[in-house]
Amino acid sequence: MSQAAGNPYAAELAAAKKAVTLAARLCQAVQEDILQSGVQSKADQSPVTVADYGSQILVSLVLKMEAPASSSFSMVAEEDSEELRKEGAEEILENITELVNETIVDDGTYSIYFSKEGILSAIDDGKSEGGPSGRHWVLDPIDGTKGFLRGDQYAIALALLDEGKVVLGVLACPNLSLGSIGNLNGGSSGDQVGALFSATIGCGAEVESLQGSPAQKISVCSIDNPVEASFFESYEGAHSLRDLTGSIAEILGVQAPPVRIDSQAKYGALARGDGAIYLRFPHKGYREKIWDHAAGSIVVTEAGGLVTDASGNDLDFSKGRFLDLDTGIIATNKQLMPSLLKAVQDAIKEQNQAASPL
């Protein structure tokens, strides 16, 4: 069944795809500027800030214009307007306003002009707390900001929560190849970049080009021997415990080196079978946010995979802005999950014993 046929969220899916596609256009324009302006400005966080806010405003605009009217619009998004309302932020607010209005004019769909006040209030559309009842959009306007600044992978990640469950997710990955990036798939349309992943509950997962090609069904790889598996992890060493992921891979007998890329592009790549496993073990005390996993996790589960915490529990997106877990997140296909879970638990036990040998 294609996602369009019999999909109870077809209208929301179409709106979500349009929203992240428009936001991706703004982000790509900013990333090109950053890369052209050279090394000097790479240390400067302001371009990414402009793109973060701009992306969030455009997503909220498109959803409000395109998604079917429901009683109220609710969005849980990463950014808020607090910093922009402070003294000294005038120039950056000016830049965001200009960029957003330019993108809207270039697109041509909407005849809307945002004032500075309109920009600030549109950003604050994302202040919802989410929770177990009603519908809430969940947005990371740029996931993988460090990758964005480096000119590498990043994603615009948007999901819909309905009664506490993720029912739809879209991931725009403007720099991700349409062919395989791992070592499992061989790679076909190798040079073309810009992937749009989407999934709706019960309807499967798909990928299409961000420039608009027909969507193709995707599924996770069917590897059942861990020795043939490869795994994804964060590009940034500070975001994941590499000693632990290394031991898990060793226990499993994984031979291939880790594939390290930024952002939820990892979930997309896993969902189309570029690799077999995704491991994410943040340092102690880090609290995961729902927008960092909502869209990616449904893309993987609808592609036939499993996403759980390190104890094998499903992720619970109904608890507000944070995910209620402190152990880590793992994703793989159904065949490998039992051995992966065991390896994870053995590696954690080993690590704990090493930390307190008595």
Interface residues for ligand PPS in 100-159 (CB under 6 A)?
140, 142-147
Contacts 24+ apart (CB under 8 A), 37-42: 42/149, 42/150
Contacts of residue 226, defined as CB under 8 A and 6 or more positions apart, other chains included, come to: 252, 253, 254, 276, 336, 339, 340, 343
Number of residues counted as binding ligand PPS (CB under 6 A) = 20
Site mask for ligand PPS (CB under 6 A), range 35-74, x = bound: ----------------------------------------
CA neighbor of 337 nearest in space, from 239, 242, 252: 252
Q: How far apart are CA 261 and CA 157, in angstroms?
A: 16
CA neighbor of 291 nearest in space, from 117, 169, 179: 169
Interface residues for ligand PPS in 222-251 (CB under 6 A)?
234-236, 238-239
Site mask for ligand PPS (CB under 6 A), range 266-305, x = bound: ----------------xx--x--x--x-------------
Interface residues for Mg ion in 124-183 (CB under 5 A)?
140, 142-143
Quote the least distance from Cβ 65 to ligand PPS, whole Å: 25
CB distance 103 to 18 below 8 Å: no
78 is in an annotated binding site: yes
Tell me the window of 68-76, 186-194, 226-234, 286-294 that interacts with Mg ion (CB under 5 A). 286-294
Tokens of 46: 């302001």
Cα atoms in the Cβ-side hemisphere of radius 13 Å centred on 22: 27
Quote the least distance from Cβ 122 to Mg ion, whole Å: 17
Q: How far apart are CA 176 and CA 43, in angstroms?
A: 23
- Interface residue with ligand PPS, options 206, 208, 262, 274 (CB under 6 A): 262
Quote the least distance from Cβ 147 to ligand PPS, whole Å: 5
Q: How far apart are CA 169 and CA 13, in angstroms?
A: 8
140 is in an annotated binding site: yes
Q: Is the dihedral of CA 295, 301, 303, 305 positive or negative?
A: positive
The item of ligand PPS, Mg ion, none sharing an interface with residue 235, based on CB under 5 to 8 Å by kind, is ligand PPS
- 49, 97, 103, 145: the active-site residue: 145
145 is catalytic: yes
Does 288 bind Mg ion (CB under 5 A)? Our answer is: no
DSSP assignment, residue 319? S
274 is catalytic: no
Q: Between 12 and 78, whose beta carbon lies closer to Mg ion?
A: 78
Q: How far apart are CA 126 and CA 347, in angstroms?
A: 38
143 is in an annotated binding site: yes
- 21, 49, 52, 125: the active-site residue: 52
Q: Between 147 and 194, whose beta carbon lies closer to ligand PPS?
A: 147
Q: What share of the chain is helix, strand, coil (3-state, %, to 5)?
A: 40, 20, 40
142 is in an annotated binding site: yes
- Interface residue with ligand PPS, options 21, 49, 263, 297 (CB under 6 A): 263
Cα atoms in the Cβ-side hemisphere of radius 13 Å centred on 40: 2
CB distance 300 to 197 below 8 Å: no
Q: Between 127 and 289, whose beta carbon lies closer to ligand PPS?
A: 289
Contacts of residue 25, defined as CB under 8 A and 6 or more positions apart, other chains included, come to: 103, 106, 107
The item of ligand PPS, Mg ion, none sharing an interface with residue 284, based on CB under 5 to 8 Å by kind, is none
User: Which residue bears the tokens 């104890």?
Assistant: 311
Residues carrying an active site annotation: 52, 145
Binding site residues, ligand PPS, CB under 6 A: 78, 140, 142-147, 234-236, 238-239, 262-263, 282-283, 286, 289, 292
Binding site residues, Mg ion, CB under 5 A: 78, 140, 142-143, 292
